[in-house]
Structure 1
Amino acid sequence: MDRLTSMAVFVKTADSGSFAAAALAFGISSQMAGKHVSTLEERVGARLLNRTTRRQSLTEIGQIFYERCKALLADAQAAESVAQDLSLSPRGRLRITAPVTFGACCLAPLITRYLHANPEVRVELSLTDRFVDLIDEGYEAAIRLGSLSDSSLIARPLMPYRLVVCAAPRYLAERGVPQTPQELADHECLSFVYTSQPVDTEWRFSDAHGEKSVPISGRFQVNDMKALQAAALNGGGVILGPEVALKDDLAAGRLVRVLADYEAPARPMHLVFPASRATPKLRAFINQVVAEFGPDTV
């Protein structure tokens, strides 16, 4: 028999004074109510109720056990209430991981808006360009760039992660504006260095005639997009970087886009999460990310 149910029957019997009244409250027979109490007495090794033909009363041990049972049942009810509340509204801690550049430029501002709309949620955002195992490392969702491998995660497509080529007006005034990707061979190209990949020696572009790779070279490579952006702003060379990180500088004229007739490769971007962790706080986060960065927003 379920111990909590037996305790609840015992408490009800003590409160009402009879097995019949307890049985009526739980929709069981009087015999079954008595069996619940007998099972508890066998567990504790002592009689809990004085049984008479008219009324059941608590023994001395039964009185102590009764008080503890009431407290335990109240705690169980409180735990159920908390769980029910959590299942209805966003609250608690939400752990998210994302690539460094997209996370800093786009996701962090979104999270501030999300927190404003969900005051009972707190977010832990981890920015890293390495692959993160959500299950093993305890994250509830991740932004992933590139093609997805087969997995048990649910994936929601987001807008493509587009790259643009640009440089500072000062640099272009000194070195000229490249008209074709091949002309980049004569320019100082600033390269982003991935920890697990070799330094780029070529950039890929596509136009109406197809896709092509062109050799590039430069004297500055760095593994941080902000540092690469700063170098470009200071006239250090031509940069191939994510549009989301460079759009403000482009709009303000601090950087000028070049080779606009040639498309740099865009990378697929997804929001992934385990189906088992789709709590209200996560569902609200997913909805906001898709609303602001979904494929229909481009």
Structure 2
Amino acid sequence: MLSRSLQIFLDVASHRSFSKAAEARGMSQPAISQAVAQLEERLGEELIDRTKRPLELTSCGQLFYERCRKLCDEYQAIEDEVRQLRHGKIVGRVRVASIYSVGLLQMQAYVEKFELLYPDVKVQLEYLHPDDVYAQVRRDNADIGIVSFPRGRGDIESTDWLQQEMGVIVPPQSLLSKFTTIELSDLRDQPFVSFTPDLTIRGEIDRVFLDADVEVRIVHQFDNIENIKRAVEIGAGVTILPLDSVRREVEFGLLRAIPFKRVQLTRPLGIIRKRGRPPTAAVSKFRALLLDADKEEAPAADLLAASVT
């Protein structure tokens, strides 16, 4: 078993925070700080620059982190292989970092299906801002990441996953809710609930409006789909979202989904992983399950039929 202080240091380095590492491990912050201090004393080197926020690793700390991270990953892989050899089962864990807007229910359904197939594997699912998903994969805190408009370059390898059709989402009381299809021009001067400017999906939607010479009135901006849906539900405005992300709300009559008449707007989803890092058997199985999911996705037409009934 690898030393406890080493594992604590890796958590602190990964989270760039003593408090977040303490929360993740269910320990007090003083206990976390003491464990790292004892490790530094034993090595005779400062590993973490505590004057920076967020915390930064010293040059010695970065070297120690990278080598120990590889050591821990290799140790975990060996443990998993021994258990698999003994019991003939897929065992271990899969750490998934996902953007919020993939859909809480959708991702949870994949996790539940996987854990039924492989009950000896634990899936750890974390929802993050897109930049943090990439960061978690780069730091080896996540085995795979789920992102929209994936960027595969440098140390990140990307695989196309799903193409999600997008449409106009309105509250039931909106005059637009009676439309069966919609033009971009129908949204001119409408109050619009948007994504924040730092997200790629916002840039894509802005580009479509610009090409069509249509201006909307942005009344709210959020960095995740759940908040956008809640704002539209209460009548704050209309929006453009992946149709799959509003299935539940449409079924319960909380929102209406309207397809575009002429414009084809989709949001690509991708699966990212760190290049050069061999996946465990458990990670490979989970990734394969996700890649098979596009064959089982319900067509958007089913959702739209429910929206207008």
Question: Structure 2 CA distance, aligned partners of 1:294 and 1:198?
Answer: 24
Question: Structure 2 CA distance, aligned partners of 1:201 and 1:293?
Answer: 23
* Counterparts in 2 of 1:270 and 1:200: CA distance versus 1, 3 Å: closer
Which amino acid is 2:81 matched to?
A
> Residues 152 and 158 of structure 2 are in contact (CA less than 8 Å); yes or no, is this contact kept in structure 1?
no
Question: Is 1:280 matched with 2:288?
Answer: no
**Structure 2 SS opposite 1:186:** coil
Tell me how large the CA RMSD over aligned residues is. Answer: 3.6
1:207-229: CA deviations, max 9, x gaps? Answer: xxxx6352211322223322211
Task: For residue 191 of structure 1, report the CA deviation from its aligned partner.
Answer: 1.2
1:145-189: CA deviations, max 9, x gaps? Answer: 11423235443321213321121221227x986953123223111
Q: Structure 1 residue aligned with 2:160, among 112, 133, 157?
A: 157
Larger Rg: 1
Which amino acid is 1:186 matched to?
D
Residue segments in structure 1 that go unaligned for 5+ positions in a row:
1-78
Percent sequence identity over matched residues?
14
* Superposition map of 1:153-232 within 5 A: 153-172=156-175, 179-195=182-198, 203-205=206-208, 212=212, 214-232=214-232
Question: Structure 1 CA distance, aligned partners of 2:295 and 2:283?
Answer: 16
Pick which of 135-144 and 176-185 moved more.
176-185
1:107-131: CA deviations, max 9, x gaps? Answer: 1221122112211111221211232
Question: Structure 2 CA distance, aligned partners of 1:201 and 1:280?
Answer: 36
1:196-255: CA deviations, max 9, x gaps? Answer: 68977964549xxxx635221132222332221122122222111122211233345432
Q: In structure 2, what is the equivalent of residue 254 of structure 1?
A: 254
Q: In structure 1, what is the equivalent of residue 82 of structure 2?
A: 84
Question: Structure 1 CA distance, aligned partners of 2:259 and 2:297?
Answer: 26
* Superposition map of 1:119-158 within 5 A: 119-131=119-131, 132-133=134-135, 134-158=137-161
Residue segments in structure 2 that go unaligned for 5+ positions in a row:
1-76, 300-309
Question: Structure 2 CA distance, aligned partners of 1:181 and 1:80?
Answer: 55
Which amino acid is 2:294 matched to?
F
Which amino acid is 1:190 matched to?
V
* Superposition map of 1:51-90 within 5 A: 83-86=81-84, 89-90=89-90
* Counterparts in 2 of 1:110 and 1:241: CA distance versus 1, 3 Å: same
Pick which of 87-96 and 235-244 moved more.
87-96
Query: How many residue pairs get matched?
Result: 216
Question: Structure 2 CA distance, aligned partners of 1:122 and 1:81?
Answer: 14
> Residues 167 and 237 of structure 1 are in contact (CA less than 8 Å); yes or no, is this contact kept in structure 2?
yes
Which amino acid is 1:158 matched to?
W
Normalised to the residue count of structure 1, the TM-score between the two structures is: 0.60
Task: For residue 268 of structure 1, report the CA deviation from its aligned partner.
Answer: 2.2
* Counterparts in 2 of 1:249 and 1:84: CA distance versus 1, 3 Å: same
Normalised to the residue count of structure 2, the TM-score between the two structures is: 0.58
